[in-house]
Amino acid sequence: MSSTYYVYMLKDPRCRPAKVFYTGKGTGSRATEHLRNIDGTNKGKYIQKIIESGFTPIVHKVVENLTEELALQIELELISGLGTIESGGVLYNSVIPKSIKRKVDRNIVVPVGSVEKAQLGLKLIKDAIVSLSEENAGGITNADCAHYLGLQSDNQGRQQDYLTYSVLGLLMKEGVLTTEKRANRRIYKKS
């Protein structure tokens, strides 16, 4: 297993001390890529404002020589701990889909970082299901996803596999997967 990954932060040098506004994981020149190719995201717009004010964002590698799995775990902890701008935190990371509409109940307390953890976890499950579908050209079923990815549910002794079924639905809505019915089974394939 290769240990070439690192976790990095981008910091705003206009603040004292420099304020963290983005965190990520990568290899090679990934950390500086954000400064060379400024995109139209809120993070990109923030980087542009820093540059326009005569400064350069600070690129700080937090930890190096990691496996991808460990780098992802550390990145997740940093994002959930610092929170995103959308959840009242400080990071311009885009882990929460903009399409999420939430009914607000003032009696429900949502701990800082919980939404980010859930959305990052969902992203990982989606990626795993898409990879499974790509490797199986004939298609996969909901039961395949639950079984082979270790996501089987247990509802009082009955397997219902609602988690994978829900994620498959999201992937279809996003246009990543298509479905067809074959011999009383729903088969999912990469679009």
Q: Which amino acid is at 159?
A: Q
pLDDT at residue 96, rounded to an integer: 54
Helices marked H in 3-157 — which ranges?
A: 30-36, 42-52, 68-82, 114-135, 142-148
pLDDT at residue 148, rounded to an integer: 94
Name the residue ranges covered by the structural domains of the chain: 5-87, 114-190
Phi-psi region of 10 (alpha: psi -120 to 50; beta: other; left: phi over 0): beta
Q: What is the mean pLDDT of the chain?
A: 87
Cα distance between residue 12 and residue 46, in whole Å: 9
| Both structure tokens of 19 | 């304020």
Taking 70 as the pLDDT cut, the residues of the chain under it are: 1-2, 95-104, 112-113, 157, 159
User: pTM for the complete prediction?
Assistant: 0.60
Summarised one tens digit per residue, pLDDT across range 15-48 is 999 999 999 999 999 999 999 999 988 999 999 9
Domain 114-190: which CATH number of 1.10.10.10, 3.50.50.60, 3.40.50.300, 3.40.190.10: 1.10.10.10
